[in-house]
Amino acid sequence: MQIHVLASGSTGNAIFVEMNQTKLLVDAGISARRIKNSLDSLGTRVEDIDGVLITHEHHDHVSGLTTLLKKYRLPAYANPDTWLAMSCRQALPDECCLSFKDSLDIGEMKIEPFSISHDAADPVGYSLYCGEIKCSVATDLGFVTPEVKQSLSLSDVVVLESNHDLDMLKKGSYPWPLKKRIMGNKGHLANTDAGWTLARLPRKARTDVFLAHLSQENNRPDLAANTVGGILAEQRIKLGEEITLHLTYPDRIAGIK
């Protein structure tokens, strides 16, 4: 198994997951060239990707999709409302645009989408299974519902939003309507939300967690790690043993094998 967050943040998002020779991308919010170059650096050809899973239609999750599908004819999966809301949909090859409503199987992986709370048409996170291994992705969500908590539970790897520090956001330069949107139930998770979510999750003996979609304006990697890690430590969760935190970045790859 290997999971690499190729990019994460408001400027673009893409995650590469490989389990038992099945290779998937979750989102394609950076250029197709950058996706190709990133995969090349990991020893994977973009032509060998078995599918692209789209969480929602916002630009920072689909900006590379048009070139990726036109040039490489990769199959892409999204729910029907996401396809309808996607501004680039008319430019995409119809045969590459596949819809789902429930779970689907791609190669050796079973994929189960789950609803998340965000200001998009029908946004989802994903749980990816291969044998006993489970990887879950939940970024761009305003709060953690019981369904999300259940979907993240007992994962070997979790990619979870840790978007902003609440004090930085409140005191920052964003206009109030944008601050209100980010803090709302259909906005983005604060560092403290991510920390308490992880602290309360049913877990396996060891879990790797990627803190994702960090705001460049209203957060810092060290602050996210310290806030989340502090909450976990207060709850007597052993960092580096029970939960290992990994930071993600908009401009470089973060991953595990």
Domain limits, the chain: 2-256
The neighbour count for residue 146, using CB atoms within 10 Å, is: 7
CA distance 150 to 171: 34
The neighbour count for residue 6, using CB atoms within 10 Å, is: 28
- Mean pLDDT in residue range 16-45: 98
- Mean pLDDT in residue range 36-65: 98
Per residue in 198-245, pLDDT (tens digit) is 999 999 999 999 999 999 999 999 999 999 999 999 999 999 999 999
Given this model, what pLDDT does residue 2 score? Answer: 96
Per residue in 15-25, pLDDT (tens digit) is 999 999 999 99
Per residue in 121-176, pLDDT (tens digit) is 999 999 999 999 999 999 999 999 999 999 999 999 999 999 999 999 999 999 99
Per residue in 168-206, pLDDT (tens digit) is 999 999 999 999 999 999 999 999 999 999 999 999 999
Nearest to 212 by CA among 226, 224, 200: 224
- Structure-token pair, residue 122: 């029908």
**CA-angle at 38, arms to 131 and 49, nearest 5°:** 45
Residues for the chain: how many in total? 257
Given this model, what pLDDT does residue 196 score? Answer: 98
Percent of the chain with pLDDT over 70: 100
Quick check: pTM over 0.75? Answer: yes
Mean pLDDT of the residues in the chain: 97
Residue 101 has pLDDT above 90, yes or no: no
Given this model, what pLDDT does residue 135 score? Answer: 98
CATH number of 2-256: 3.60.15.10
- Cα of first residue to Cα of last residue in the chain, in angstroms, is 6
CA distance 15 to 222: 22
Q: Pairing between strand 51-53 and 76-78?
A: parallel
Given this model, what pLDDT does residue 186 score? Answer: 97
How far, CA to CA in Å, does 133 sit from each of 119, 155, 202, 206, 253? 30, 7, 15, 12, 22
Q: CA-CA-CA-CA torsion for 146, 147, 150, 151, nearest 10 degrees?
A: -150
Given this model, what pLDDT does residue 119 score? Answer: 96
